[in-house]
Amino acid sequence: MIQFLDFYADWCGPCKAMSPVIEELEKDFAGKMEIKKINVDSDSTNVSRYSVMSIPTYIVLKDGQEVERFIGAQPKETIVSKIVQHIS
71, 66, 34: which is closest to 50 by C-alpha? 66
**Rounded Cα distance, 62 and 9, in Å:** 24
- 15 catalytic? Reply is yes
Q: Select which of 12, 35, 67, 71 is catalytic.
A: 12
Q: Which of 5, 15, 18, 40 is catalytic?
A: 15
Query: Strand 57-62 and strand 2-8: pairing?
Result: antiparallel
Catalytic residues: 12, 15
